[in-house]
Structure 1
Amino acid sequence: MNETLSAIISAAQATSVWEVIAFAFGIAYLLLAIRQNPLCWYAGFINTGILAWLFWDASLVMESALNVYYLLIAIYGWWAWRHGNSEATQDLPIQRWRLPQHLIAAVTIVGLTLISGSLLAANTEAAVPFLDSFTTWGAVITTWMVTRKVLENWLYWQLFNSCAIFLYWQAELYLIALQMAIYLGLAVVGWFKWKKDYEQQLN
C-alpha cells in the first residue's frame, strides 16, 4: 500500500500543468453532458486538443490519433445536439436504441478489438493488446452514441471505464486510473439523470 501511495505521489509531482488543464476540461465535459448542455462539446474539444498534443509529444501515436477523432466528433456532437433533430426548431432529444442496434455495436466493437488486438500482439510489445483495443474501440462507438443522445451510452461508459481503470492501474498509471474512476462515477450519475429526462420527454 505504501508503495502504491508513493507511486501516486510521484505521478502527481510529475504531472504537467497541461495535464491538469486537460483533466479539468474532461470533468467539465462530463458534468455539462449530464445536463445536456451543448457547451460540453467546447470543453471536450479543448480537453482532447490538449491530450492529442501531449500524447503526440510522448510518441503515443495511437492515443494521439484517438484524440484527433475526439476533436472531430466534438464538432459533430455540437452540431448534432443543436441541429440533428428532424424538427429543425428543437434540440436533439434523448433516444433509446433497440436490441438490434446494440447487437451491431457489440459485434463491431468485438470485431475491431480482435483485429487490432491481433495486430498489436503480433507486431508490437503491447502488454495487454486486446484489453487496450477493447477500451479504445468501445470509446469510439460510445462517443458516437453521445453525439446522438442515446441513453444507453452511460451504461457503455460504465463498462469501458471499469475496464480502463484496470488497464491503467496495471500499467501503474495511477492518476489516470483515478480519473477513470471519477468518470465511472459520473457515468452512473449521467444514466439516472438522462433516464429521468427521457421519461419526462414521454409525458
Structure 2
Amino acid sequence: MNWLESLARAWAEQSGWEMLAVVLALAYLILAVRQNAWCWAAALASTAIYTVLFWQVQLPMQSALNVYYMGMAVYGWWHWRHGGSADRALPVTRWPWRHHLIAVALIAVSTLISGFLLSRHADAAWPYLDSLVTWGAVVTTFMVARKLLENWAYWMVLNALAIVLFVERAMVLTAALYVAYLVLSVVGWASWLRAWRAQNETVSSQ
C-alpha cells in the first residue's frame, strides 16, 4: 500500500492549479474517447495551466508542448465540427503505413536534435526523454485533431514514457493522470475502432 500512501500524500501536497489541470485533462480525454468536440475546450483550459506548471519544474519542452496544445485545441474544435464532407462532423479515418513511417522518422530526428541542444545549452532534466514525449505528442495531437484511429496506439507508448518522466520530477499527481491516460488510450482505441468499422459498413451498404 506504500504507493497508495505516496499518491495520497502527493495529492495533499499538490497545488490547487495542478489539481484543476488534472481534472480538466481527464475531462478532455474522456470526451475525446466519446468523440465529443467539447473535449477541446477542456484541453485549452488544462494546457494553459500546465504551460506554467511544467516551466516551474524545469521541463521546458513539456511547457512548450502545452503552448502548442492550446493552438491545437482551437484547430481541433473547428475541424471536428466542420472537417467532414458537406461541413459535417469529421469521421474516424486511418493513415497508410508510409505516413506512419514518416511520422516516426520525424519524431526520432526532432528528438535527437532538441535532446542534444537541451543537454548542452539548457538546465533541463531528462532532455532526450522530455524531447521524445514532446515531439511524439506534437505529431499525435495532430492525429487526434484529424480523427485518425492510430493516434491511440501512439498515445499508449507516449503515456507510458511520460509516467516515468513525471515520477522522476516528483509530479506524482500528474504521473497518476498519465496512468489513467494509458488506460483510456486503450479504451479510446477500442471505441474509435468500432466507430470506424461502423462507418465502413454504412458506406459499403449504400
TM-score higher than 0.5: yes
Match of residue 179 from structure 1: 177
Q: How far, CA to CA, are the matches of 2:174 and 2:46 in structure 1?
A: 14
Residue identity in the other structure for 1:75: V
Q: How far, CA to CA, are the matches of 2:99 and 2:61 in structure 1?
A: 27
How do 1:1-203 residues align onto structure 2 when only pairs under 5 Å count?
2=2, 7-56=6-55, 61-85=60-84, 87-203=85-201
Residue pair 2:118, 2:124 contacting (<8 A) in 1 also: yes
Structure 2: tracts of 5 or more residues without a match: 202-206
Residue identity in the other structure for 2:95: W
Aligned identity (percent) is: 48
Q: 1:63 to 1:135 in 2, by over 3 A?
A: closer
TM-score normalised by L of structure 1: 0.91
Following superposition, the deviation at residue 43 of structure 1 comes to 0.8
Root mean square deviation of aligned Cα: 1.9
Structure 1: tracts of 5 or more residues without a match: none
Residue identity in the other structure for 1:41: W
Match of residue 204 from structure 2: none
Q: How far, CA to CA, are the matches of 2:160 and 2:21 in structure 1?
A: 21
Matched residue pairs, number?
Answer: 201
Secondary structure at the counterpart of residue 36 of structure 1: coil
Residue identity in the other structure for 1:100: R
Residue identity in the other structure for 2:190: F
Q: How far, CA to CA, are the matches of 2:83 and 2:77 in structure 1?
A: 9
Following superposition, the deviation at residue 29 of structure 1 comes to 0.4
Q: 1:75 to 1:130 in 2, by over 3 A?
A: same
Residue pair 2:22, 2:174 contacting (<8 A) in 1 also: no
Cα deviations by residue, 1:9-29 (Å, 9 ceiling, x for unpaired): 442222122211111110010
Q: How far, CA to CA, are the matches of 1:51 and 1:22 in structure 2?
A: 7
Residue identity in the other structure for 1:36: Q
Larger mean CA deviation between 17-26 and 120-129 belongs to 120-129
Larger mean CA deviation between 58-67 and 157-166 belongs to 58-67
Residue identity in the other structure for 2:145: T
TM-score normalised by L of structure 2: 0.90
Q: How far, CA to CA, are the matches of 1:52 and 1:169 in structure 2?
A: 18
Residue pair 2:58, 2:123 contacting (<8 A) in 1 also: no
Residue identity in the other structure for 1:166: V
Q: How far, CA to CA, are the matches of 2:60 and 2:114 in structure 1?
A: 14
Cα deviations by residue, 1:40-66 (Å, 9 ceiling, x for unpaired): 111111111222233456665443322
Q: How far, CA to CA, are the matches of 2:55 and 2:171 in structure 1?
A: 18
Larger mean CA deviation between 167-176 and 189-198 belongs to 167-176
